[in-house]
Amino acid sequence: MSMTMTQKILAAHADLPQVQAGDLIEAKLDLVLGNDITAPVAIRVFEQTGFKSVFDPERIAIVLDHYTPCKDIKSAELCQISRNFARKHGIRHFYDVGQAGIEHALLPEKGLVAPGECIIGADSHTCTYGALGAFSTGVGSTDMAAGIAAGENWFKVPAAIKVTLTGTLPKHVCGKDVILHLIGEIGVDGALYRSLEFMGDGVASLSMDDRFTISNMAIEAGAKNGIFPVDEKTVAYVSGRVTRPYKVYEADPDAVYEREVVIDLSALRPTVSMPHLPSNTKTIDQVKGLPIDQVVIGSCTNGRISDLRAAAAILKGRKVSAGVRCIVIPATQAVSLQCLREGLTEIFLEAGCAFSTPTCGPCLGGHMGCMAAGERAVSTTNRNFVGRMGHTGSEVILASPEVAAASAVAGCLADPADYDRGGEEA
Biggest distance spanned by C-alpha atoms of the chain? 63
User: What is the pLDDT at residue 424?
Assistant: 53
Domains and CATH numbers, the chain: 5-264 (3.30.499.10), 271-419 (3.30.499.10)
104: left (phi over 0), alpha (psi -120 to 50) or beta: alpha
Helix-, strand-, coil-residue percentages of the chain, each rounded to 5? 40, 20, 40
Give the strand pairing for 259-264 and 93-95: unpaired
Q: Where are the alpha helices (DSSP H) in 52-207?
A: 73-89, 103-109, 141-150, 175-186
Q: What is the pLDDT of residues 183-235, one digit of tens each?
A: 999 999 999 999 999 999 999 999 999 999 999 999 999 999 999 999 999 99
Backbone phi and psi for residue 10, each to the nearest 5 degrees, phi listed first: -65, -40
Between CA 419 and CA 406 the distance in angstroms is 7
- Per residue of the chain (426 residues), what is the pLDDT tens digit? 799 999 999 999 999 999 999 999 999 999 999 999 999 999 999 999 999 999 999 999 999 999 989 999 999 999 999 999 999 999 999 999 998 899 999 999 999 999 999 999 999 999 999 999 999 999 999 999 999 999 999 999 999 999 999 999 999 999 999 999 999 999 999 999 999 999 999 999 999 999 999 999 999 999 999 999 999 999 999 999 999 999 999 999 999 999 999 999 999 999 999 999 999 999 999 999 999 999 999 999 999 999 999 999 999 999 999 999 999 999 999 999 999 999 999 999 999 999 999 998 888 888 889 999 999 999 999 999 889 989 999 999 999 999 999 999 999 999 999 998 765 554
Name, in order, each residue with C-beta under 8 angstroms of 183's C-beta and a sequence gap of 6 or more.
Answer: 190, 217, 220, 221, 273, 278, 279, 281
